[in-house]
Amino acid sequence: MNPSFTIRVSCFLLLALFFYTGISKLFQHDVFLYSLHKVVFLRYGAASLSYIVPLTELLVALLLFFPRTQYYGLQISLVLLSVFTVYLLLMLLFVADLPCSCGGVLSKMSWQQHVWFNLFFIVLNIAGLYSFRKTSYV
């Protein structure tokens, strides 16, 4: 497959994901904050996280938009997706009452579906980074 095409597709889909999740968390801020407060180990940082997470997601979307910053956007999005996926797995393993802190359509997914969803985007992200290396854009 053409590396430039892979880069464009992965950046577009990740941009859409991070823009959507960031905006939905800000527009439903009270719901997002409430769900963060329900997680014992996040409770004390919930107020800060309720702004840091969506603003970081929007920053990543912005980085993925501009060709000059897409590589950095892909790197940061891979870190975010990995952290979110580890968080999901830890919650599945150790928490009985699972609060959903996702916004919009994503809140309709089960936690297991969300893990698979994230893994798909992690693979897509890695494909984008690999394609950057193949084209020597970096």
Q: How far is CA 53 from CA 21, 67, 118, in A?
A: 10, 23, 16
Over residues 128-137, mean pLDDT: 85
pLDDT of residue 74: 98
pLDDT tens profile 56-110: 999 999 999 999 999 999 999 999 999 999 988 988 887 766 666 565 667 778 8
Q: What is the domain count for the chain? A: 1
Domain that holds residue 31: 3-135
Report the alpha-carbon distance of residue 45 to residue 9 in Å, rounded.
35
Q: Which comes out higher in pLDDT, residue 108 or 47?
A: 47
- Residues 6 or more apart whose Cβ sits within 8 Å of residue 124: 9, 10, 13, 14
- pTM given for the model: 0.89
DSSP string, 79-124: HHHHHHHHHHHHHHHH-SS------GGGGGS-HHHHHHHHHHHHHH
Reported as a pLDDT band with limits 50, 70 and 90, residue 137 is low
